Structure 1
Amino acid sequence: MELAEAKAGTADERVEPHDSALLAVDGVTMRFGGVTALEDVSFEVARGAICGLIGPNGAGKTTLFNCISRLYDPHTGAIRFDGRPLASFSRHEIATLGIARTFQNVALFATMTTRDNVRVGAHALARGGFLSSALTLPLAGREERRLAERADALIEEFGLKAVADRPAGELPFGVRKRVELARALAIGPKLLLLDEPAAGLNHEEVDALGAEIRAIRDRRGVAILLVEHHMNLVMRVSDQVVALDFGRVIADGSPEAVRANPNVVRAYLGSAA
């Protein structure tokens, strides 16, 4: 416990990223005008680990997600994925590197069917290219069949077969969340970014989500970085928890150590008691 808290309290000390880490965030600072959203943020996520990213509103969690997704370029610091600097890749290459993301506000194509939404996710893997598709070459046909098979397997895996041909906009909110998960996993990512997946879900759905997050990791070996305000969910499913406050890391360790860390208690409750 003392060791974990000592580690959590040394956010000002620079830790060199390990080559074995799947995701290494090193000294990332992000500013918007005069506002510092992230300040010298450093932590690592191991391969196959579930890491919960917590903090009060405005702590910088979504900003960090957007840096990892390459929607933002940090002012200082670096982010390495699978040993390679993300800054050396363009934004449209992030999916092909093996990073997938869901959003707090479910981002599906409402008029498209469940099956087609999942297939859209799989298209990042397509090898045929525009020319072969335009000319309906045999390669394009084989690619379409391969992507369709991948989408159908995910629909089966997530229990979506009964709604596969229904427009996504007609589905209940909890079901749409599962469709978005299936679509994100269609590329076979190494890292899955989940942005407040429990938002809008009832207690039973949150319990089912926790089990599903663990099952996804166990079935696929994918690492998961989870931003979530539902603390019970985070503490139940995470192997590691990183806490942010005012854009800085205030704790990084096991769920038990972070839950008891006085800096985290103060950030959430305003006191050490």
Structure 2
Amino acid sequence: MELAEAKAGGADEGVDLLAPALLAVSGLTIRFGGVTALQDVSFEVAHGAICGLIGPNGAGKTTLFNCISRLYDPGAGSITFDGHPLASFARHELASLGIARTFQNVALFATMTVRENVCVGAHAIARGGFLANALATPLARREELRIAERADALIEEFGLKGVADRPAGALSFGVRKRVELARALAKGPKLLLLDEPAGGLNHSEVDGLADEIRAIRDRRGVAVLLVEHHMNLVMRVSDQVVALDFGRVIANGRPDEVRANREVVRAYLGSAG
């Protein structure tokens, strides 16, 4: 990762990073045995902002994502989303709250078609219960129609019409990444967590991904929290960058500011530059 060569695109002037936060992480600390994975981590992400989360391997980025996803319970501190403390919600309630996530290793149902995978995302926020679906009530039928229409719109948007009826497991890695994005957005989230979305993509696909992330935010007003090692991608798309090292926040600001921060340069390059 060449930090010195990363091009900072600069923050979107339309995003007010000082506006009331959609996501607020405050004093987050978590330990595994004698190892402190996160130490007093605090930062905020505004509505509609793209925030890049960077740091060397072992800095605590994935641990932070897992705390936001309610996979881990921190030992201290809090996470507030849209005014609600996340500790009050079970992990299966996050979709209805407005949080969606993609994973470093694409997590699709390999034997299901692309359309079926995208529909699964919409089902996560469906209003009909098990009994309504089992009895095929009018509510359930309307819900299924709405889900199918949402899935078809996303398939069109992400250029997946040609593979919509193919099993997801038979597709290339880059295409499966797009399917996973479509499935996450089928939930209609307010916050999209992207866990190393550029992993395994070629240069052309990374360029397309950068454009897609910005377009997702611009089309929907969705805030994005992005964990990524591809520094050019982070600096190109982010309004805000938070840098972690050994579980601590060492920088938090606009891309150019963080890129020039001496602690960040030291963490990546081993010197103050």
Scaled by the length of structure 2, what TM-score is found? 0.93
- Any idea what SS the aligned residue of 1:125 has? coil
- Any idea what SS the aligned residue of 2:139 has? helix
- Determine if contact 2:243/2:251 at 8 Å carries over to the other structure: yes
Matched letter for residue 206 of structure 1:
V
Instruction: Confirm or deny that 1:165 pairs with 2:165.
Output: yes
Instruction: Confirm or deny that 1:101 pairs with 2:101.
Output: yes
Matched with 2:13 is none
- Any idea what SS the aligned residue of 2:189 has? coil
1:201-222 CA-partner distances (Å, limit 9, x unpaired): 0000000000000000000000
Matched with 1:91 is 91
Matched with 1:11 is none
In structure 2, what is the Cα distance between the partners aligned to 1:211 and 1:176?
Answer: 17
Matched letter for residue 196 of structure 1:
E
State the percentage of identical aligned residues: 83
In structure 2, what is the Cα distance between the partners aligned to 1:137 and 1:208?
Answer: 42
Instruction: Confirm or deny that 1:245 pairs with 2:245.
Output: yes
In structure 2, what is the Cα distance between the partners aligned to 1:220 and 1:70?
Answer: 25
- Determine if contact 1:95/1:124 at 8 Å carries over to the other structure: yes
Give the 5 Å matches for 1:123-272. 123-272=123-272
Task: Give unmatched runs, 5+ long, in structure 2.
Answer: 1-17
- Any idea what SS the aligned residue of 1:200 has? coil
Matched with 2:3 is none
- Any idea what SS the aligned residue of 1:100 has? strand
User: Could you tell me how far 1:19 is from its partner in structure 2?
Assistant: 8.1
In structure 1, what is the Cα distance between the partners aligned to 2:155 and 2:61?
Answer: 30
In structure 2, what is the Cα distance between the partners aligned to 1:91 and 1:178?
Answer: 24
Question: Cα RMSD between the aligned structures?
Answer: 0.9
Matched letter for residue 22 of structure 2:
L
1:132-173 CA-partner distances (Å, limit 9, x unpaired): 111121111111111111001100010100000000001111
- Any idea what SS the aligned residue of 1:78 has? strand
- Determine if contact 1:19/1:83 at 8 Å carries over to the other structure: no
Q: Which runs of 4+ in 1 moved over 2 A?
A: none
Task: Give unmatched runs, 5+ long, in structure 1.
Answer: 1-17
User: Could you tell me how far 1:195 is from its partner in structure 2?
Assistant: 0.2
In structure 2, what is the Cα distance between the partners aligned to 1:133 and 1:71?
Answer: 29
More displaced 10-residue stretch of structure 1: 262-271 or 137-146: 137-146
1:173-230 CA-partner distances (Å, limit 9, x unpaired): 1000000000000011000000000000000000000000000000000000000000
- Determine if contact 1:29/1:77 at 8 Å carries over to the other structure: yes
| Corresponding pairs, count | 256
Matched letter for residue 247 of structure 1:
G
1:212-256 CA-partner distances (Å, limit 9, x unpaired): 000000000000000000000000000000000000000000100
- Determine if contact 2:22/2:82 at 8 Å carries over to the other structure: yes
Scaled by the length of structure 1, what TM-score is found? 0.93
- Determine if contact 2:19/2:46 at 8 Å carries over to the other structure: no
In structure 1, what is the Cα distance between the partners aligned to 2:19 and 2:26?
Answer: 13
In structure 2, what is the Cα distance between the partners aligned to 1:24 and 1:35?
Answer: 24
In structure 2, what is the Cα distance between the partners aligned to 1:242 and 1:132?
Answer: 45
Matched with 1:75 is 75
- Determine if contact 1:241/1:255 at 8 Å carries over to the other structure: yes
- Any idea what SS the aligned residue of 2:136 has? coil
